[in-house]
Structure 1
Amino acid sequence: MNLIRGYDPETLRELIDERECAMRLEEIEHQRSLPVLLERVWLLKVLDRLDEALELADETVRQARMAGTRKDLLRARVLHATVLQNRGAHAAAAQELATCAHEAEGQGWAGIAAFAYQHHGKNAYEAGDFDSARDSFKQSLFLRRSAGADDTELEKALRAIEAAERRSTTTPGVLV
């Protein structure tokens, strides 16, 4: 089930139907598997229930560390960092996302690395560092291509690159 309807061209955040997301959250609220916990964190995040999202993200990282694979742990850490980002903790999110991206790249997990770089770029974008955002989005695009991603994923990265380039040329005080 895809609850993302698109992306805001200014903020790059997901556009969702809040009612559908709330219904999905209610539907899975008592399930405890790692994939469901990850989904619940994401739902809480996009519904702007950030305190709950952070608490559950912490629990999800612990569960992934104890019972999941290294890939599971990276996915949980990336999601945890996106909650930090939404809470405005951009420096902490940037550090965690960069660490996850480099670890995934080192393991040859291009899909997870691309996911981490995309979120690293979104975090930098929100923090106003459009050059860093563009670089992260470009790395995400490169990794997505090498992993054989579909056109939708490639288009998402290309639009993010364009948004970062547009913002870096229109932001006052930025040398171009």
Structure 2
Amino acid sequence: MSYIQGYDPETLREVVDPRQCQERLEEIGGQRSLPALLERVWLLKVLDRLDEALTVAEDAVRQARMAGTRKDLLRARILHATILQFRGAYDAAAAEITTCAAEAEGQDWPAIAAFAYQHRGKVHYDARDYDAARSDFKRALFLRQGAGAPEDQLQSTLLAVDAAERRAAEASIAV
């Protein structure tokens, strides 16, 4: 079940039903499996409970490092970086995601690389570097198209490209 109802066209953040997310968070409870930890991080993030999200994200990265696959670790690190992004630590988030994107591309894991570029684009977008955001979103789109990604992923990336182009144009007019 997807908790994402869409994306805010201005912030590019997920639009969710907070009640539904809170209920799911309660269902997961204290489960310690890596998928449960990752889901809990995301739910805490969209509920704007960033301190808790950061703690759980750090646990998820540790668990993925000790018992997960390399793909699991990359996913956990990217999610951790999104918490840093939401807390305003754009440079740290971008640096973390950059290393994840490079490893994913080096291993020829286009879906994970696209996930990384999409999120690094969002970091740049929040930091108001719209040209870098647009470049990352376009890279994510290219990788997703090549990997045969589902339509909802392609649409979210197209929305992000449009938003970055719109913001870049507005910024150039304001100068």
TM-score in terms of structure 1 length? 0.97
How far did 1:152 drift?
1.8
Query: Matched residues in 2 for 1:119 and 1:174: separation?
Result: 26
The structural deviation recorded for 1:30 is 1.8
* Cα shift readout 1:10-63 (whole Å, capped 9, x = no counterpart): 000000100000000000012111001000000011100000000110010000
Unmatched segments (≥5 aa) in structure 2: none
CA distance in 1, matches of 2:174, 2:41: 36
Please report how far the alpha carbon of residue 154 of structure 1 lies from its aligned counterpart in structure 2 after TM superposition. 1.1
Name the counterpart of 1:127. Answer: 127
Alpha-carbon distance in 1 for matches of 2:82, 2:152: 21
Which amino acid is 1:90 matched to? Y
Extract structure 1 runs of 4+ deviating beyond 2 A.
172-175
Structure 1 partner of 2:169: 169
Whether the 8 Å contact between 1:78 and 1:97 is mirrored in structure 2 is yes
Aligned to 2:90: 90
1:55 aligns to 2:40 (yes or no): no
Identity of aligned residues (%): 66
| C-alpha distance in 2 between matches for 1:48 and 1:31 | 21
Is 1:108 the counterpart of 2:108? The answer is yes
Q: Deviations over 1:120-146 (max 9, x none)?
A: 001100000000000000000010011
Q: How far 1:174 moved relative to its partner?
A: 6.9
**What secondary structure is seen at the aligned counterpart in 1 of 2:40?**
helix
RMSD: 1.1
> Using the alignment, how far apart are the partners of 2:124 and 2:174 within structure 1?
15
Q: Does 1:77 align with 2:44?
A: no
- The alignment partner of 1:5 has SS state of strand
Residue type of the partner of 2:40? Answer: R
Match of 1:146 in 2: 146
Q: Is the contact between residue 7 and residue 14 of structure 1 (CA under 8 Å) also seen in structure 2?
A: yes
Residues 69-121 of structure 1 show CA distances to partners (whole Å, capped at 9, x for unaligned) of 00000000000000000000000000011111111010000000000000000
Give the CA deviation at 1:156: 1.2
What CA distance in whole angstroms lies between the structure 1 residues aligned with 2:159 and 2:42? 22
Q: What is the DSSP-based 3-state SS (H/G/I as helix, E as strand, rest coil) of the residue aligned with 2:6?
A: strand
Normalised to the residue count of structure 2, the TM-score between the two structures is 0.97
Structure 1 residues without counterparts, runs of 5 or longer: none
- SS at structure 2 position matched to 1:171: helix
Is the 1:168–1:174 contact (alpha carbons within 8 Å) kept by the matching residues of 2?
no
Number of residue-to-residue matches in the alignment: 175
